[in-house]
Chain A
């Protein structure tokens, strides 16, 4: 009996997580279905693409250029020990396209746009604006969730490509200009080692991350309770859960793809 209670007690959080995962999936499926039903809400979609894509660009650029530069520096110190400095460029390029580009971009967008999604939709929930949508025969999943999820899935790969490129430029600047690696060799090694598949797989990751962060953030906003305090909680949880989910899924995507 006591044993039973122990398992019940220990298992409860796990069941809770599964349950919540199921509800997130349901919201995603519902958004997916609504994406194919008229009206298509193109205005909302473009508005969200601007909110997610354009507005996140500055932080994504800063993150990308500094991580590219740091990568070049760090790998230079390592490779110098056995005279492999020429590999710095390829290292930066591979790390950026496979990992740093998609993951850091997703994390930045989560902080910038994911929290905003949760807060906006959460505010609409607690101020009865979602009820008002229902009352006016407008489905809030189609009007609010679908455009954000679509925007997340479309803009993340675009931001990631930019991030990849800027990261490599940062690495080139540090390697070629500051550390004195021959820039021709630097580039040649990148061409030699970097496969189009590396970029492509990185973009698949980006689409998945965009999906995860937007669905999770919309979910947290959509089921907000408890007034202004609840909105704050929803925004925080959206960031935390999105971040953790991005890291977990990154591991599995990497295991499958590379």
Chain B
């Protein structure tokens, strides 16, 4: 289980997370929704310890990661896979080497086996035969999928997806949604997905968390969110609630 308790984070005078509480259940898919710039990526970076909160605690399986030293934090991070919003593939390596990277770093698998896994993951994200290419030779959507292959290469217990389908065509989006659902089903991983796409969210989510003004204003099943009376959520989900001013 992942739990954020009273997490506050400011950049300069801008408060992005404001005493945010969030409990992410294990072995389920939780989607975080929120407007652009509302702090969704910042939440993910806190969960994996890339950012430390100004105040508040972050528990991964009941361990407060804000108090760990780097070595302990690394042990915790080994359970994680993360897809960054801009994929963050290493420019100096081929796509195949990128996907192989966590396997080379953290397993003793023979080369052949690593190669097999890389091929398999790349096929799963719809990128067969690009292993030899450099990331700069791929389109944005292809890079994102390669980043996805890298994130799931180790079959991690916790997977963080920062906008996995943004920038993909509808057919590919659908395929990636299926991949997330199937991966989660097979590995029983805890998945945290950031999304802008309402249809996809309702398709894959077990739980939905709505981020608004630095706090989770509602957390629940897709059904509960659909029936929410909160004007912001109504506007966000159904693009309705006239008269509601969504702010700047």
What residues make up the interface of A, taking CB atoms closer than 8 Å to B?
120, 123-124, 127-129, 131-132, 134-139
What residues on B are CB-neighbors of A137 within 8 Å?
74-75, 77-78, 105-106
The segment from B30-38, B79-87, B117-125, B218-226 that touches chain A is: B79-87
Specify which chain A residues have a CB less than 8 angstroms from the CB of B102 in the assembled complex: 136
Which are the 6 A-B pairs with shortest beta-carbon distances?
A132-B88, A137-B74, A128-B88, A137-B77, A135-B82, A129-B88
* CB closest chain-A residue, reference B41: A128
Q: Contact between B101 and A131 (Cβ–Cβ < 8 Å)?
A: no
Q: Hey, which chain B residues are within 8 Å of A123, CB to CB? A: 91
A131–B91 CB distance below 8 A: no
Contact of A131 among B45, B70, B78, B105 (CB under 8 A): B45
A136 is contacted by which of B49, B86, B92, B105 (Cβ under 8 Å)? B105
Q: Which residues of A contact B78 (CB under 8 A)?
A: 137
Give the complex CA separation of A127 and B136 in angstroms: 13
A-B contact pairs, 18 of them (CB 8 A): A127-B88, A128-B86, A128-B88, A129-B89, A129-B91, A131-B45, A131-B50, A131-B84, A131-B88, A132-B88, A132-B90, A134-B49, A134-B50, A136-B102, A136-B106, A137-B106, A138-B105, A139-B74
In the complex formed, the residue of B with least CB distance to A130 is B88
Is B152 an interface residue, CB under 8 A from the partner? no
Mark each residue of chain B from 46 to 64: 1 if its CB lies under 8 Å from any CB of chain A, else 0.
Answer: 0011100000000000000
The residue on A at minimum CB distance from B105 is: A138
- CB contacts (< 8 Å) of B75 on chain A: these are 137
Say yes or no: B101 contacts A136, CB within 8 Å.
yes
A127 touches B80 (CB 8 A): no
Interface size class of B (residues with CB under 8 A): 20 to 34
Complex interface: chain B residues within 8 A of A132 (CB):
82, 84, 88, 90
B90–A124 CB distance below 8 A: yes
Q: For residue B49, which residues in chain A have a CB less than 8 angstroms away from its CB?
A: 134
Cα of A136 to Cα of B74 in the assembled complex, Å:
8
CB distance from B191 to the nearest CB of A (A): 16
Closest to A47 in B: B92
Give A127 to B89 CA distance when docked, in angstroms. 9
Q: Which residues of B contact A135 (CB under 8 A)?
A: 48, 50, 77, 80, 82, 84
Closest to A128 in B: B88
Docked CA distance A124–B98 (Å): 14
Contact call B90/A129, Cβ cutoff below 8 A: yes
Looking at the assembled complex, report how far the CB atom of B50 sits from the nearest CB atom of chain A, in whole angstroms. Answer: 5
Residue of B nearest to A135 (CB): B82
Complex CA gap A134/B47 in Å reads 13
Complex Cα gap A137–B74 (Å): 5
What 0/1 readout, one digit per residue, does chain B (195-207) give for beta carbons within 8 Å of chain A?
0000000000000
CA gap between A108 and B45 in the complex, in Å: 40
Q: With the chains together, A158 CA to B89 CA distance in Å?
A: 34
Chain A residue contacts of B82, Cβ below 8 A: 132, 135
| Minimum distance in angstroms from A119 CB to a CB of chain B | 11
* Residue in A closest to B153 when the chains form the complex, CB atoms: A136
A226 CA to B144 CA, complexed, in Å: 23
Tell me the complex Cα distance, A123–B45, Å. 19
The answer to whether A128 and B84 touch (CB under 8 A), given A135-B77, A136-B101, A137-B105, is yes
Task: Given A135-B50, A136-B101, A137-B78, answer yes or no on A127-B86 (Cβ-Cβ < 8 Å).
Answer: yes
Q: Does A136 contact B77, Cβ atoms closer than 8 Å?
A: yes
How far in angstroms is the closest Cβ of chain A from B103? 10
Nearest Cβ distance between residue A73 and chain B, in whole angstroms? 44
Closest Cβ–Cβ distance, residue B70 to chain A (whole Å): 8
Q: B101-116 interface mask toward A, CB cutoff 8 Å, 1 = contact, 0 = none?
A: 1100110000000000
Complex: A205 Cα to B90 Cα, angstroms? 34
Closest A residue to B85 using CB positions: A128
> How many angstroms from the CA of A139 to the CA of B70 in the assembled complex?
9
Distance between Cα atoms of A138 and B101 in the complex (Å): 10
A137 to B82, CA, bound (A): 11
A120 to B93: give the CA distance in the assembly, Å: 13
- Give 16 new A-B contacts, CB below 8 A, not counting A124-B91, A128-B84: A120-B92, A123-B91, A127-B91, A128-B86, A129-B91, A131-B88, A132-B84, A132-B88, A135-B50, A136-B77, A136-B101, A136-B102, A137-B74, A137-B77, A137-B78, A139-B74
Complex CA–CA separation, A134 to B106 (angstroms): 13
Which B-chain residue is minimally distant from A131 (CB atoms)? B50
Bound complex: CA A214 to CA B136 (Å): 26
